[in-house]
Amino acid sequence: MQADGRGAAATQPLQEKVYTLIKDEIVNCGMSPGSVICEDVLVEKFGTSRTPIREALLRLQRERLVDIFPRQGTFVSQISLKDIYEIYQLRLIIEPQVIKISCRNLDPAVLSEFRDFFTRLETQECPYAEWFRQDRELHSYIVDSSGNRQLQQMYATIMDQNLRMRILAGKIPSRMRDTNHEHLAILDALLAKDEEKAEQVMASHILSSRAGVLRLEGFREGSPSPDDSKSLLYEK
């Protein structure tokens, strides 16, 4: 299984390390959507000059994780209703198809390891950070097994945005429990090499995840989708 961002940052050059650590804080909601980013605080925190901080923030701005407003300040980007529909639209286009492609390429031993982890959570508690790491690794493992490097890169960007939404929604106790059941259904279909079932349960899982995000304060399941996304949303 993959190392987390903090572990990877330890061996990176300073500029890349600063970028990785700031991004990790944003993606994992250590910095909440809409919160102010103060360069002085980051300079003191990382013990570096302003140059790598500013370069990291500009890079994160290009990734739509940071908003920089001249003479106003720098902020963690907000999550809009349109963002939610667009991100889940992409996931629904990609993942149900990719799981069919990857189904027969996946290592049963790795799948069993994931299944053991999510099965243990039926009776044991787990720190949120570890749970979300395993969740992301499962989805990334399925996509990586497609062998398509362009898809892997695009998917990583999508998941950086989606993880913020899912962390906020995942702290709703019922959503975490439901997600465990959905992961087990996905893993059972993959271990059985049932491509059609895997496609079906993956699509259902993503729709349930979207519904969980829409239950957050400020978003509702019944809210109308943005006009330019409505026609492409994957619905059962």
Reported as a single tens digit per residue, the pLDDT across 4-23 is 445 555 556 888 999 999 99
With vertex at residue 156, the alpha carbon angle to CA 56 and CA 188, rounded to the nearest 5 degrees, is: 150
The reply to whether 101 and 192 lie within a common domain is yes
Task: Please check whether residue 66 lies inside any domain of the structure.
Answer: yes
For residue 61, give its domain range: 5-76
Reported as a single tens digit per residue, the pLDDT across 99-139 is 999 998 999 999 999 999 999 887 677 777 788 889 999 99
Task: Please check whether residue 236 lies inside any domain of the structure.
Answer: no
The reply to whether 126 and 147 lie within a common domain is yes
Of 26, 61, 76, the residue that ends a domain is: 76
pLDDT band of 67, cuts 50, 70, 90 = very high
Reported as a single tens digit per residue, the pLDDT across 25-56 is 999 888 999 999 999 999 999 899 999 999 99
Cα Rg of the chain, angstroms = 19
The reply to whether 108 and 217 lie within a common domain is yes
The reply to whether 85 and 34 lie within a common domain is no
Number of domains in the chain: 2
| CATH number, position 20 | 1.10.10.10
Q: Which of 22, 68, 66, 29 is nearest to 45 (CA)?
A: 22
Of 21, 55, 76, the residue that ends a domain is: 76
> Is the sign of the CA dihedral 219, 220, 221, 222 positive or negative?
negative
The residues near 72 (Cβ < 8 Å, ≥ 6 apart) are none
Residue type, 28: N
Per-residue pLDDT for 167 more than 50?
Answer: yes
Task: Please check whether residue 179 lies inside any domain of the structure.
Answer: yes
**Other beta carbons within 10 Å of 6:** 13
The reply to whether 72 and 85 lie within a common domain is no
Of 45, 76, 107, the residue that ends a domain is: 76
